[in-house]
Chain A
Amino acid sequence: MLTEYKTTADITGPLLIVEHVAGVGYDELVEVEMANGEKRRGKVLEVHNDKAVIQMFEGTSGLNIPETKIRFQGDVLKLAVSNDLLGRTFTGSGAPLDGQAEIIPDELRDINGSPINPAARAYPNDFIQTGISTIDGMNTLVLGQKLPIFSGSGLPHSKIAAQIARQATVPSSSSKEKIQFAIVFAAMGITFEEAEFFINDFTTRGAMERSVLFINLADDPAVERIATPRMALTAAEYLAYTKHMHVLVIMTDMTKYAEALREVSSARKEVPGRRGYPGYLYSDLSTLYERAGRIQGEQGSITQLPILSMPEDDKTHPIPDLTGYITEGQIVLARDLHQKGIYPPIQVLGSLSRLMPKGIGEGKTREDHSGVANQLFASYARGQEVRELATILGEGSLTDTDKKYLEFVERFEKEFVQQGVDENRTIVDTLTLGWKLLSILPKTELKRVKSEQIEMYAH
């Protein structure tokens, strides 16, 4: 029998302070019963002798001091996992949202997980074809990578993430069957419409039975968001390492997650770091992102595609900044491309995939891939400089070579970057297109590709 306490002393923001408790452990799960019988959950953030600070997942609205009953559960927050997870939709704190029954668990798992031993990781180096040229060709995603999309308000990040989820395959995998990803979707503080967009997309193409959804909407309690990605990743780890599936985890919007963390931090009166975010934001984010990866001798994998909106498109804002320090690159969306009507508006030069060098080349994509990518980067960068120069001095002042660059940069954006929402390009399509565009330039300008490759591919 669990002891029930009615000794709440303070309620501030999402926090509850309870006195005269005994035997309470740090990080323990708490059940709180309100005056009207409604039950909510929370966890212990701090214990000091007989005083416990509890963070409520579903917020504190409607709680009062005299009638609130508190029961400490003697264990940390756990997620029920089993094969039945697939096809289900849950709230941000793991309760069924689809009207179906609770999962009959195979196992209960601590949602915080445990760090993967760096000595046990396998290096991610299997190419994932997303069908999007700017990603496959120049910022390649690999199996087990964490590659966030840095977006801004009003940019089509959801469309891109859905397109990736729809098109992603692993062409080089040895198995005859095409790898199909299981999708774990964690929504944190996004709007109903955005969430519906994903749900519809999964449903209409029959991907629902391979998906698990955790939904915390903008009007759901903000603190619940702190648990949401951990629930999702726990489900993903179960599917990947117990059920040996390849899992693609989409987490959106990480900015809202970090804001929830800030809310709790400020309620605890902690010394704030940059822009009011807690000093441990980096460590906290890493406990999410680092759950992506591959493990030696294990079939399954977790690939993460977190989405975050950059306030004012500012990449130096703490959330994109700290994310970029943890993740293996980033896909940056550009407002100017979007305004020119280019979809997907991927800012090629600002984007980066750190795992690309080992995921491409002979036997993975094609032997000229790295050369083509480097050459496209260099030429596009040069072309942009030329374009800037042309705006200031006029096109007339350009040399002949520079005029070629100008043509290259325009066509690159219209033909290579731009593609349809349903256009699924193979890596060979992408590389061929790259060569076609590079052949606009004089051969002497192509210093990053090997001369025999120029002979072979540039026409």
Chain B
Amino acid sequence: MTTKNITGAIQKVSGPLVIAGNMSGANIQDVVFVGIAKLIGEIIELHGDKASIQVYEETSGLKPGDIVESTMEPLSLLLGPGMLGAIYDGIQRPLDVIKETHGAFIARGAGAPALNLEKKWKFTPSINVDTEVVGGDVLGTVQEGAIVHHVLVPPYVSGTLTSLHAGEFTVEDTIGEVKTSGKKVHALHLAQRWPIRTPRPVQKKLIPTTPLVTGQRVIDTFFPIAKGGTSAIPGPFGSGKSVAQQQLAKWSDADIIVYIGCGERGNEMTDVLLEFPELTDPKTGESLMNRTILIANTSNMPVAAREASVYTGMTIAEYFRDMGYSVALMADSTSRWAEALREMSGRLEEMPGDEGYPAYLGSRTAQFYERAGIADVLGSPARQGSLTAIGAVSPPGGDLSEPVTQNTLSVVKVFWGLEERLAYRRHYPAINWLTSYSLYLDQLASYFGEHAGDNWNELRVQAMSILQQESALEEIVRLVGLEALSKHEQLLLHVARIIREDFLQQNAYDSVDTFTSLHKQYRMLSLIIDLYTKADNRLKEHDFAMQVFLTLPVLTAIARAKVVPEHEVDSAFDAMHTSVATEVDSLINQ
């Protein structure tokens, strides 16, 4: 690419860290090729003419004196048609292609272009030549499955569009040219390159006001996340982080999903790879895999590429946001990313901060989540794109006071706290309703009022207050027994249990229960609150026995309401409201 490549020699090898001498002139973040096998690495520190390099592959066999060559370019991705449905490693090597070429085990030095360079795409221009264009302007479209792939002028390129051709092109073919003000000619392609550590620019960031509907009741109803928002799911192992992340990837009403398996299990990625193609996207009717991009740098893959994987995912997500799509990014788990940072920091012999993590952990975390948001994107036609970032955190021993959790919570707006105690009782999703929070509630209130039900927000507050009173009353029950409570309080405890078991608990493996529309969530919650209000009123005049209340047939119906199919919701719930009214009226004095 460039003629003034810089070549040095290895002085030291320690795990994924290589120090090379004679490298003066190379830049921080340059990609380098290390050794005869040309292992890919990145310069992370410079001291005089010595460069510290993190190597994205296994370094065994490297020797002092081996050659190191800098490409003088930062680590970049190739962004263009053909990414949907793909599975990449942390530095955008296509794992499905590598499987075909190198077999089931990832050999060192295995590589392949990130996009298929042979495949031709049908490009349809949408603007005329001789117009002035700026970065972000839509040049035209390529149809990729159900998704329209907008081909954009790369950011920072502007000038007069001198040519633009319709037809079949590979991602590297020239589709047109822009003459910049400096009289330079910039060739346009279907694909463009972008460095992973540089956020792609937008015109103006906005305040999010639309929820990302996830179909998960505890999330949508109690702790919703906005399109363009940020959230963290911390939880000890076995509390269901990965299932929760996958549920969001499956059912969120985003246009594009970027799912990053960062230092996690190989089988989880396999699960996504095998399951998503079988599921249908309710919006497009196509397979869910066609809107999904997987980044898989599993725990046993090289640790430096794990560090890069979250940025690779983020850059791809930004690219689709720039087209005007709503993109949801899931990173599972950001703790493994932080550990990769810690490992490199330790090998660089930096002064450690809290628990051995580098002092810059906080600023790196904040920079990562700041790349999320909803924005007026660059270029015309004017459009909005959003990028929602959801990060799983794996705190050691489930202790939330540890640095990764704390640094994350200081930047994200939604906290879904998974708890082992709940998972232990098989209460899934094991999101603690008393400690979790969403700072978007106010921003999203009017959307819910309009689209879900006008008293949605009141219902939510009422249900939450029942749950909070339950936790206070439980203390008393533990000390003196249930009988010591008043009938009203006992009723409240029973209703709280109904909310917990029949509303909050949701079975990801049940074909109906796995997704609940906003409308059904609203009907479910209003049914339970209706039961509570009616029974509580009844109790004021009739001192009925709690045992009798607990045997009301409608309670069984409510318990099974979660599996009522979406198209039968209205009739089934109308019937249950009627039953509530008649059965509560049948309760009489003991």
Question: Are A and B genuine complex partners?
Answer: yes
By a beta-carbon cutoff of 8 Å, the part of chain A in contact with chain B is 23-28, 45-50, 76, 112-124, 241, 270-274, 279-280, 282-283, 286-287, 290-291, 293, 295-296, 298, 315-318, 321-322, 324-326, 328-330, 349-350, 352, 354-355, 357, 370, 374, 377-378, 381, 389, 392-393, 397, 399, 444, 447
Checking B63, B87, B238, B481 against A119 with a beta-carbon cut-off of 8 angstroms, the contacting residue is B87
In this complex, which of B103, B237, B481 has the most chain A Cβ atoms within 10 angstroms of its Cβ?
B237
> In the complex, what's the smallest C-beta–C-beta distance from A239 to chain B, in angstroms?
16
Residue pair A115, B265 in contact (C-beta under 8 Å): no
Please name all residues of chain A whose beta carbon is closer than 8 Å to the beta carbon of B261 when the two chains form the complex. Answer: 118
Known interface pairs A271-B352, A293-B267, A392-B478; A326-B105 also in contact (CB < 8 Å): no
Residue pair B64, A287 in contact (C-beta under 8 Å): no
Bound-state Cα–Cα, A237 to B236, Å: 31
Bound-state Cα–Cα, A325 to B404, Å: 16
Please name all residues of chain A whose beta carbon is closer than 8 Å to the beta carbon of B267 when the two chains form the complex. Answer: 121, 123-124, 293, 328, 355
Please name all residues of chain B whose beta carbon is closer than 8 Å to the beta carbon of A45 when the two chains form the complex. Answer: 14
Residue pair A378, B104 in contact (C-beta under 8 Å): no
Residue pair A117, B99 in contact (C-beta under 8 Å): yes
Given contacts A119-B95, A119-B99, A283-B300, 13 further A-B contacts (CB under 8 A): A46-B14, A48-B19, A49-B64, A116-B300, A271-B346, A279-B343, A280-B303, A293-B266, A329-B238, A370-B509, A377-B426, A389-B481, A392-B479
Residue pair A349, B424 in contact (C-beta under 8 Å): yes
Chain B 475-514: CB-based contact to A (< 8 A → 1; otherwise 0): 0001111110000000000000000010000000100000
Bound-state Cα–Cα, A355 to B14, Å: 37
Bound-state Cα–Cα, A60 to B108, Å: 32
Classify chain B: how many residues form its interface, as a range: 35 or more
Residue pair A122, B270 in contact (C-beta under 8 Å): yes
| 8 A Cβ contacts from B314-360 to A | 336, 339-340, 342-343, 346, 352, 355-356
Bound-state Cα–Cα, A196 to B560, Å: 54
Bound-state Cα–Cα, A444 to B99, Å: 52
Q: Report the 7 A-B pairs with minimum CB-CB distance, sorted nearest first.
A: A316-B397, A27-B60, A286-B299, A324-B237, A290-B300, A26-B13, A120-B104
Residue pair B273, A46 in contact (C-beta under 8 Å): no
Checking A124, A280, A321, A330 against B396 with a beta-carbon cut-off of 8 angstroms, the contacting residue is A321
B232 within 8 Å of A by Cβ? no
Chain B 455-484: CB-based contact to A (< 8 A → 1; otherwise 0): 000000000000000000000001111110
Bound-state Cα–Cα, A290 to B336, Å: 15
Residue pair B303, A283 in contact (C-beta under 8 Å): yes
Residue pair A444, B425 in contact (C-beta under 8 Å): no
Residue pair A374, B426 in contact (C-beta under 8 Å): yes
Residue pair A328, B426 in contact (C-beta under 8 Å): no
Instruction: Name which residue of chain A comes closest to B357, CB basis.
Output: A279
> In the complex, what's the smallest C-beta–C-beta distance from A193 to chain B, in angstroms?
32
A-B residue pair count with CB separations less than 8 angstroms: 205
B559 within 8 Å of A by Cβ? yes
Sample (16) of A-B pairs whose CB atoms are under 8 Å apart: A26-B62, A28-B61, A76-B60, A113-B105, A118-B270, A119-B87, A270-B346, A280-B303, A280-B343, A283-B299, A283-B343, A286-B299, A287-B300, A326-B299, A329-B238, A355-B267
| 8 A Cβ contacts from B426-456 to A | 426
Residue pair B103, A120 in contact (C-beta under 8 Å): yes
> In the complex, what's the smallest C-beta–C-beta distance from B134 to chain A, in angstroms?
39
Known interface pairs A118-B87, A282-B336; A26-B478 also in contact (CB < 8 Å): no
Instruction: Name which residue of chain B comes closest to A370, CB basis.
Output: B509
In this complex, which of A25, A357, A399 has the most chain B Cβ atoms within 10 angstroms of its Cβ?
A25
Residue pair A118, B266 in contact (C-beta under 8 Å): yes
> In the complex, what's the smallest C-beta–C-beta distance from B237 to chain A, in angstroms?
4
Chain B 261-278: CB-based contact to A (< 8 A → 1; otherwise 0): 101011101110110000
Residue pair A444, B551 in contact (C-beta under 8 Å): yes
Bound-state Cα–Cα, A316 to B106, Å: 33
Chain B 76-104: CB-based contact to A (< 8 A → 1; otherwise 0): 00000000000100000001101100111
Known interface pairs A26-B62, A397-B481; A117-B95 also in contact (CB < 8 Å): yes
Instruction: Name which residue of chain A comes closest to B102, CB basis.
Output: A117
Residue pair A290, B11 in contact (C-beta under 8 Å): no
Residue pair B59, A120 in contact (C-beta under 8 Å): no
Residue pair A326, B399 in contact (C-beta under 8 Å): no
